[in-house]
Amino acid sequence: MTISHRRILTASLSAALMLLATAASGAAAPSPASPSPVSLSPARTTATDGQRDFNWEIGTWRSAVRVLADPLSESPDEWLEFSGTSTVRPLMDRRANVVELAVSGPAGSIDAINLRLYEPQAQRWSLTFVNMRDGLLTPAVYGGFRDGVGEFYGDDRLGDRPIKVRFLVTRVGQDEARFEQAFSADGGETWETNWIAVDHRVRR
Q: Hey, where are the domains in the chain?
A: 6-13+50-203
Give residue 129's pLDDT.
93
Q: Give the pLDDT of residue 135.
A: 82
Class of domain 6-13+50-203: mainly beta
Q: Which of 10, 36, 13, 39 is closest to 25 using CA atoms? A: 39
**What per-residue string of b and e applies to 3-12 under the rule 16 or more CB within 10 Å gives b?**
bebbbbbbbb
Query: Does this model's pTM top 0.75?
Result: yes
Q: What integer pLDDT is reported at residue 81 of this predicted model? A: 98
Helix (H, G, I), strand (E, B) or coil at 56: helix
Q: How confident is the prediction along the chain (204 residues), in pLDDT tens digits per residue? A: 434 444 444 333 333 222 222 223 333 333 334 444 444 444 444 445 688 899 999 999 999 999 999 999 989 899 999 999 999 999 998 889 999 999 999 999 999 999 999 999 999 999 999 978 888 889 999 999 998 899 999 999 999 999 999 999 999 999 999 999 999 999 999 999 999 999 999 988
